[in-house]
Chain A
Amino acid sequence: MFHVKRRRLLLLPILLLVPLLIACEIADAPDGWAAPTADPNESETVLLPTGEGRVVAIDLLSSNARWQFPSEDDTFTGLDGELDPTAFYANPVWSDYTNEWLIAEYDQGVLYGIHPRGDSARVVFSAAELFDEARIVADPLLDPQNPELVYLVTTDNRVHAVNIEIPPAGVDDLVWTWQGESEHPIWGSPALVESDDGRVLVVGGLGGQLTALRLDGEEAGEVAWTRRLGSGIASALLAHEGRLYFGAFDRTFYALDPRGGDTIWSAQGSNWFWSTPLIDEGVVYAADLDGDLYAWDAASGFPRWDTPYAAGERIRAQPIVVRGDSGATIVLISRDGVVHQLDAATGVSLWRSSELVNDDVLADALYRDGQIYISNESGRLFSVVLGINAATQIYPRQDG
């Protein structure tokens, strides 16, 4: 009877929806984009946060893992139970004060302190335990004047001052904590700016709000000023010579006065700015998600190049300056894994590789000893020598 068959036919496509939806869920899992970071103590070691929720300390000479966090069995000395970090967006930070790596995990908002040789670890701060829905995307920021303090920004619009020597057991143990009113999270790394009015920590969120928090004296943790832009801010804020530099979703790059948040100059891009800007020799370099790299005079905002450099693909990684015999060059890694080298003075392309690393590149790259270290979204680490159109896979090691 067709009547019955027709009804069965209706069921079929609906049931097919289920595996499709599940497949989409898997694709949505966060990978993280924390950058490979050089170990200040071991010259041949690089810390690599991978997309699988692990951090691996890699010996660059042998490509061997010196240690990894968590270890293969998802545990780690000094920490209880099974560990399940999902992703790392915040770059690892080295603390001379506690002589350990500070690594912030995304989903549970945990700041781990890891011994430099990977012998043991501890939980410095667990945001999700104290606050619901608190995750960490922004880099932890160590206070240079108070090395026992780290400023942590969580996605629930909070900023916490944490004493890393005495991990807080509860909210009351925090040095101070501030909560913003925006409904949108804060993902961009904060900047610490010194000015005539004292030191402020400036945070910018996806809601377009900029907030400066006082850091010193009895007013520490209180709002110095706020400002609202027309659109969101996802890029890290960069402090340089008493000014604040960043790009936003309104395709505008800003230089602000940290004393009150007034705009000193602004310049237009062609898409969202998400990568951290670079300042070198009085020039600020910033790349947008159309793949255009701009060079402006840091003081005046006057363009330094005739036209922006067009990489042709989105750029999330921060530009790098590389100095050679013939002067300074700017190195860019676009999302497709292409390495671009430009003349810093003119923006003219000097060299451009093919797609070298087999997956998206969103993490900042590391320049060390004449090599560019690039990690892709699959958690692999490659090294590239400028001018040579090939990449060597460092980790995982390719035997043979």
Chain B
Amino acid sequence: MIDFIWNDIMINPIMNGLIIIANALGDNFGLAIIAFTVIVRAVTYPLTLRQLRATRAMQVMQPQMQAVQKKYKDPKRRQEEMMKLYREAGFNPLGCLWPMLVQLPVWIALYQVIRRTLGDTPEQLLALSARLYDWGYITQAIPLDRDFLFLDLGARSFQQNLPLAIIVAVTAFIQQKLSTARTSTGDERAQSTTRMMLWLFPIMFGWFTFQVPAGLGLYWVATSVFTIITSYYYYFYRTREPFSWRWLISLEPLPAATSATGARGNGAAPAPAGSRDRRDSRDDRDDDDDAEPIEAEADVSENGETAPAPRSRGSTSAARRRRRRRRAGRSTR
């Protein structure tokens, strides 16, 4: 069963699809990988959008999160209150993980596809024949041209992959920087983690590039570029936040933003009703009707209880739940 899912639903369709795309693009497997990246990113765009929203929601909730952190010294209680805060806000912190979790099998599948499709031993090519769909267009396209720009897409040589590894690391750095642009918090520990990730991910992916065929490195570059464009659009272009290229190449995280979508200064107050953020929130709902609202503006009272702040517009899932409970109570009465 697992074998069927992995081979017949993941590997073989990706492999045959890539061969078709490569053939259509003039026997260019590099362009096929880039086109494949665009397709994958388009298919997973709803998840990406959810991740962007979750990241932004986290920024909005920073004042409340910091208040909880300061209030509770007991880690267990603090965790409970944080989860309560998330729940009240209708925010799912795991939403940030989905795009990564979806990407992982795609990476592994693509790695295997490249090894099998561009493999250089006779056994690999022989085994490939069993995976090709029975279309002359595909079977006659083999063997594929492995070259793309300065790369042999099936090779892993250090010399060849060095410039690619640098490109992978740089694009991963920019991607990481943009994706953490709106997660700046007052928590020193969280900030140091963010700062570490800013370096760790690019170095790690740069190092991976030496271990895998160049084609996978190309996929990482294309994915990063796609994510950079998406993040820039979502965090800056759309919100008209000021953006500086100088900041992008600096080693420090972006200061917190000016509005609730990115209010400048840590611990900034939630955006007032009618601010720019409300327009964004409306836009989000237009984009994705099923998406849960994320702009929870909870307050932490002196006694440690968290209470949902009045909503400027629309309703949180918690509010919906309360209304449902009230309606249910009326009907039973």
* A residues whose Cβ falls under 8 Å from a Cβ of B: 1-4, 6-7, 9-11, 13-14, 17-18, 20-22, 24, 28-31, 33, 89, 137, 183-185, 187, 206-207, 230-232, 234, 249-251, 271-272, 274, 289, 314, 316, 362
Residue of A nearest to B93 (CB): A2
Cα separation A185 to B124 with both chains bound (whole Å): 14
Within 8 A of A (CB), among B192-230: 193-194, 197, 200, 204, 208, 211-212
Q: Which of B111, B125, B139, B187 contacts A1 (CB 8 A)?
A: B187
Would you list the 9 A-B pairs with minimal beta carbon distance, nearest first? A30-B121, A231-B140, A3-B190, A289-B129, A206-B143, A4-B193, A13-B104, A250-B140, A272-B129
B37 at the interface (CB under 8 A from A): no
Q: With a CB–CB cut-off of 8 A, which chain B residues contact A289?
A: 126, 129-130
Query: Contacts A31-B123, A362-B123: A1 and B189 contacting too (C-beta < 8 A)?
Result: yes
Supplied contacts A17-B108, A251-B139, 15 more A-B pairs, CB within 8 Å:
A1-B190, A21-B211, A21-B212, A24-B112, A24-B115, A30-B122, A89-B122, A206-B143, A207-B143, A231-B139, A231-B142, A249-B139, A250-B140, A271-B139, A274-B129
Residue of B nearest to A316 (CB): B126
Q: Which of A4, A31, A249, A274 contacts B140 (CB 8 A)?
A: A249
B2 at the interface (CB under 8 A from A): no
B145 at the interface (CB under 8 A from A): yes
Q: Which of B115, B145, B189, B211 contacts A28 (CB 8 A)?
A: B115
B107, A17: Cβ atoms closer than 8 Å: yes
CB distance from B109 to the nearest CB of A (A): 11
A234, B125: Cβ atoms closer than 8 Å: yes
Query: Contacts A21-B212, A314-B130: A9 and B123 contacting too (C-beta < 8 A)?
Result: no
Cα separation A147 to B197 with both chains bound (whole Å): 67
Q: Which of A232, A274, A314 contacts B143 (CB 8 A)?
A: A232
Q: With a CB–CB cut-off of 8 A, which chain B residues contact A207?
A: 143
Q: With a CB–CB cut-off of 8 A, which chain B residues contact A20?
A: 108
Q: With a CB–CB cut-off of 8 A, which chain A residues contact B111?
A: 21, 24
Cα separation A20 to B187 with both chains bound (whole Å): 36
Q: With a CB–CB cut-off of 8 A, which chain B residues contact A274?
A: 126, 129
Of B79, B130, B139, B143, most buried by chain A (CB within 10 Å of CB) is B143
B69, A1: Cβ atoms closer than 8 Å: yes
Q: With a CB–CB cut-off of 8 A, which chain B residues contact A184?
A: 143
Of B96, B121, B208, most buried by chain A (CB within 10 Å of CB) is B121
Cα separation A206 to B145 with both chains bound (whole Å): 11
Q: With a CB–CB cut-off of 8 A, which chain A residues contact B204?
A: 14
CB distance from B63 to the nearest CB of A (A): 15
Of B79, B129, B130, most buried by chain A (CB within 10 Å of CB) is B129
24 A-B contact pairs sorted by A residue (CB < 8 Å): A1-B78, A1-B82, A6-B94, A6-B97, A7-B193, A13-B100, A13-B101, A13-B104, A14-B104, A14-B204, A20-B108, A22-B211, A24-B111, A28-B121, A183-B147, A184-B143, A230-B140, A231-B142, A234-B122, A249-B142, A272-B129, A272-B139, A314-B126, A362-B126
Q: Chain B: interface secondary structure? A: helix
Q: Which of B58, B124, B208 contacts A17 (CB 8 A)?
A: B208
Cα separation A177 to B319 with both chains bound (whole Å): 82
Q: With a CB–CB cut-off of 8 A, which chain B residues contact A2?
A: 79, 82, 93
A137, B122: Cβ atoms closer than 8 Å: yes
Query: Contacts A7-B193, A14-B204, A289-B129: A28 and B124 contacting too (C-beta < 8 A)?
Result: yes
A6, B189: Cβ atoms closer than 8 Å: no
CB distance from B188 to the nearest CB of A (A): 11
Q: Which of A6, A7, A18, A187 contacts B211 (CB 8 A)?
A: A18
B142, A232: Cβ atoms closer than 8 Å: yes
Cα separation A274 to B142 with both chains bound (whole Å): 13
B242 at the interface (CB under 8 A from A): no
Residue of A nearest to B205 (CB): A14
Cα separation A2 to B104 with both chains bound (whole Å): 22
Cα separation A314 to B129 with both chains bound (whole Å): 9
Q: With a CB–CB cut-off of 8 A, which chain A residues contact B274?
A: none
Cα separation A18 to B211 with both chains bound (whole Å): 8
B253 at the interface (CB under 8 A from A): no
B117 at the interface (CB under 8 A from A): no
Mask of B266-297 contacts with A, CB within 8 angstroms, 1/0: 00000000000000000000000000000000
B119 at the interface (CB under 8 A from A): yes
Q: With a CB–CB cut-off of 8 A, which chain A residues contact B82?
A: 1-2
Cα separation A234 to B142 with both chains bound (whole Å): 11
Q: With a CB–CB cut-off of 8 A, which chain A residues contact B121?
A: 28-30
B185 at the interface (CB under 8 A from A): yes
CB distance from B51 to the nearest CB of A (A): 12
CB distance from A311 to the nearest CB of B (A): 14
Of B107, B140, B211, most buried by chain A (CB within 10 Å of CB) is B140
CB distance from A86 to the nearest CB of B (A): 10
Mask of B219-261 contacts with A, CB within 8 angstroms, 1/0: 0000000000000000000000000000000000000000000
Q: With a CB–CB cut-off of 8 A, which chain A residues contact B108?
A: 17, 20
B136 at the interface (CB under 8 A from A): yes
B112, A251: Cβ atoms closer than 8 Å: no
Residue of B nearest to A14 (CB): B204
CB distance from B202 to the nearest CB of A (A): 12
Within 8 A of A (CB), among B136-153: 136, 139-140, 142-143, 145, 147
Cα separation A89 to B122 with both chains bound (whole Å): 9
Cα separation A390 to B111 with both chains bound (whole Å): 40
Within 8 A of A (CB), among B141-192: 142-143, 145, 147, 183, 185, 187, 189-190
CB distance from B304 to the nearest CB of A (A): 17
Query: Contacts A1-B190, A251-B139, A271-B139: A33 and B122 contacting too (C-beta < 8 A)?
Result: yes
Cα separation A33 to B211 with both chains bound (whole Å): 28
Within 8 A of A (CB), among B64-90: 69, 78-79, 82
CB distance from A292 to the nearest CB of B (A): 13
Q: With a CB–CB cut-off of 8 A, which chain A residues contact B122?
A: 30, 33, 89, 137, 187, 234
CB distance from A31 to the nearest CB of B (A): 6
Cα separation A4 to B194 with both chains bound (whole Å): 9
CB distance from B142 to the nearest CB of A (A): 6
CB distance from A313 to the nearest CB of B (A): 10
CB distance from A107 to the nearest CB of B (A): 10
Cα separation A274 to B129 with both chains bound (whole Å): 10
CB distance from A236 to the nearest CB of B (A): 12
Q: With a CB–CB cut-off of 8 A, which chain B residues contact A314?
A: 126, 129-130
